[in-house]
Structure 1
């Protein structure tokens, strides 16, 4: 086995690049993708032509117009970007072992054989770029990171953009990252950075030289030791984390911002989350609702509840929390809504209830009805049966 085991691919300005590929008239022009329209909105992505003017993710629309008067704003089409993600993934999986799709614009692949040596990995990246350009389009570009593990490969993938290819290993570490700050590294949050400063670890070189056992003490968990060992080049495998909740959040389109409409979007999110909970054979013991208001402010409430996977039960809790928010804040419009079914565990592990009566792992009547609704929708199409009135809100502002 050679020195390198992981290839990390980061698509360049992916959302904007897809839009430029779809519409040739946009190629070479500054483009920004928006999550919220109007002057109160923000950019969720920008083309490199727009970035040259200082427009980036999070830039307000009004500021982007000031920085780049010729910029073109487009609403996000998230499902379109997912379609391109799947097309790219199919190409990559033919050329190497696609280990994980990290996000809609990031891919992680396992290297082996000739590609585990630097020359072979670089050649593989070149071939991947060529196939994507030929089979999808010249506008779709990527930057690559090559490393002995996923952490170093990911960091390397950010070093040269766009259309770059860089590598990291003990051969060029930590000097290759001497220009970066601690919190430029993925996984170093403000809290972790504060802990490192308290331990007199001021820069990446000091972090790299740290005894991994000391890092465990600084972090307060095994993750500190894992992080430093990976930074030092050890092949630290990804840990499969246990899922603690099911939920979703939406930045609302203008016609969904009135509170009455935002409430219906929340109902739709509850239905989706509860269906996924049942699909995985789990129950939730808490329900949370968060709402951000216009022009500012917000509320976040949480309830402990019976361990359940019953959609009707969660919709009842959803209404209860909305009523509490209305009594306290009287908001007129919302900018975003989030629901979360938390404290999850397996239905198979749920204890029985002598007074219900309910045997261990037995489903309630409501849960059986929910399961039947899932079966009907799976056979005849989603939303064939719905739990009363709701308001679907796909993507950012996408319809359908």
Structure 2
């Protein structure tokens, strides 16, 4: 057995590559995927041909045209990309052990037998590249990384793009990643970078040599110790995370930016989020509303409530928060809004209420009505039954 346990695959410019695969006229050309079909939108993904001109995620459409004359724009089709993600996953799982689909363009596989050695892993990666190209599409390429744990495999997978293959293990650590900035590492935010700097950890080499117990103190969590032990090439497995909440946010198209229109979009977001909450058999004990007025600081509030999965309950809280926000947002346009249902627990663990009366784990009459609404909407189509007026704003990410 060799030192490698995990193979991490990172699809190269995945959204743009799917569009190039489907439209041969786009191959070899700079392509940008946008969130809106107008000059007010921004780039959410770019092909490597576009990246060579400086076009990247977050670049406005106007700036992308200036940086790269002749660039081709395509509206995002997220459902299409998910279908391609599943096609890639099916191919990978036939040739190796697919452990996790980490995101729409990232996959984690387990290595065993000869593939735990560098030659064996290299042969497996070549096989996977050929299989994806042949069975999904020649434009679909990925960079691969291997390591003794998921963190090092992920870092290795980002060292050589596009279409690369790299490895990290005890023999080349930390020298192989010493050139990276602290916040180049996955999981190191700018705030955590600043905290590390204040603790005297100023570069990746120093972080790799840190005492794991000191890392726990800096992170103020056991995750710091797990992170550093992973950098030190220990076999640290991923832990199951507890779901923190259910929510939706939306960057608003110009036609939806007036507060009166955005409010109706927020009602639609709540109906979607609470339906997902019920689908998973959960209840939420807090509701949050966020909005970003153009030219003003963002506004947000959170409200505690009795644990519930009732759409009408969250709509009432939402209406009260919009009334509270109204003096601040009156006359403004909103760039984005978001709702979040948090303090989540399972319905089966909810205690009863003698005053209602309500038995433990029993749904209220309003919650039962919401469940019936879910059934009808699943059977006859989303929006067949709605609780009052809302304004669907699916956008381009839900096309395809």
TM-score, normalised relative to structure 1: 0.95
Partner of 1:256: 256
1:253, 1:397 within 8 Å by CA — same for their partners in 2? no
Q: Distance in 1 between the 2:85 and 2:135 partners? A: 13
Q: How far off its partner does 1:109 sit?
A: 0.9
Paired residues in the alignment total 400
Q: How far off its partner does 1:296 sit?
A: 5.0
Partner of 2:209: 209
Partner of 2:6: 6
Q: How far off its partner does 1:269 sit?
A: 1.2
1:78, 1:395 within 8 Å by CA — same for their partners in 2? no
Greater CA drift, 375-384 or 6-15:
375-384
Partner of 1:77: 77
Q: Distance in 2 between the 1:19 and 1:111 partners? A: 31
Q: Distance in 2 between the 1:178 and 1:65 partners? A: 36
Q: How far off its partner does 1:115 sit?
A: 1.3
Q: How far off its partner does 1:125 sit?
A: 1.0
Partner of 2:325: 325
Give CA deviations for 1:233-278 in whole Å, capped at 9, x if unaligned: 1111111111121111122233333333322221121111111111
Q: How far off its partner does 1:353 sit?
A: 1.8
Q: Is the alpha carbon distance of 1:103 and 1:209 closer, same or farther for their aligned partners in structure 2, counting shifts above 3 Å?
A: same
Q: Distance in 2 between the 1:353 and 1:133 partners? A: 58
The answer to whether structure 1 residue 27 and structure 2 residue 23 are counterparts is: no
Give CA deviations for 1:95-131 in whole Å, capped at 9, x if unaligned: 1111111111111111112211111111111111111
Partner of 1:299: 299
Partner of 1:228: 228
Q: How far off its partner does 1:360 sit?
A: 2.1
Q: Distance in 2 between the 1:38 and 1:375 partners? A: 37
Q: Distance in 2 between the 1:7 and 1:374 partners? A: 40
Partner of 2:309: 309
Q: Distance in 2 between the 1:286 and 1:218 partners? A: 29
Gap regions ≥5 residues in structure 1: none
Partner of 1:271: 271
Partner of 1:218: 218
* Aligned residues: CA RMSD: 1.8
2:79, 2:399 within 8 Å by CA — same for their partners in 1? no
Give CA deviations for 1:316-347 in whole Å, capped at 9, x if unaligned: 21222222222332144322221101111222
Q: How far off its partner does 1:230 sit?
A: 0.4
Q: How far off its partner does 1:73 sit?
A: 1.8
2:34, 2:74 within 8 Å by CA — same for their partners in 1? yes
Partner of 1:41: 41
Secondary structure of the residue aligned to 1:54 is coil
Secondary structure of the residue aligned to 1:19 is helix
Q: Is the alpha carbon distance of 1:28 and 1:214 closer, same or farther for their aligned partners in structure 2, counting shifts above 3 Å?
A: same
Partner of 2:158: 158
Q: How far off its partner does 1:87 sit?
A: 0.7
Partner of 2:64: 64
Partner of 1:147: 147
